[in-house]
Amino acid sequence: MITLGLTGSIGMGKSATGQMFIDEGCPVYDADAEVHKVYAKGGAAVAPVEAAFPGVEEDGAINRAKLADRVVGDHAAMDRLNAIVWPLLGAGRREFFRKAEEDGVAIVVLDIPLLFETGGERNMDAVVVVSAPAEVQRARVLAREGMSEAKLDGILARQMADAEKRARAHFVVDTSQGFDHARQQVRAIVAALKEPDWRERLDGARERSQ
């Protein structure tokens, strides 16, 4: 079973792309949704994360913006956070993989927004980055309720640059040309990973691009 990492910056269309992989028969583990659960009021991560990073708790839940200010860009802090959170997510991940193996699926997708920022790509067989031109990204995000230029710039400052993500990816899905075009790219990725020599092809492609 192939483990495919799916990542991309805010406003790139990652969630929609994840659904396309589901439509192609590849189950998706949404890491962000699982983290939301343990950070919510009464969640298992609230007390230990607040103990490690005092001041990030607010009304009984973890304020993710405050937490990001403390850990993004600080590898030691990120490692400390992951050491707290990832074990708490273990049961859900194990059940996800158990069911995938039981169902005999060839490819599972792990949707992780900060995959590169946390070093999670080391645990993946391959990585897909969802991308779009900067002007498309900004227009999408600024159309969201409560979003501002300043808030968006703050979010982007905490994320790895899109160009670097694309350079480090095995595959890139460009969502700027509509869902049909993106779906074709997803289908091509799934087909490529089902080839017997997929790993050799990927390694060869990476070597030629360097």
Query: Per-residue pLDDT tens for 186-207?
Result: 999 999 999 888 888 776 666 5
Three-class SS state of 74:
coil
The bridge status of strand 126-131 relative to strand 171-174 is parallel
Structural domains of the chain, ranges and CATH numbers in brackets: 1-27+106-202 (3.40.50.300), 34-104 (no CATH)
CA distances from 162 to 33, 134, 172, 178 (A): 22, 9, 11, 19
Three-class SS state of 41:
coil
Neighbours of 11 (CB within 10 A): 23
List pLDDT tens digits, range 39-51: 999 999 999 999 9
Regions of the chain with pLDDT less than 70? 203-210
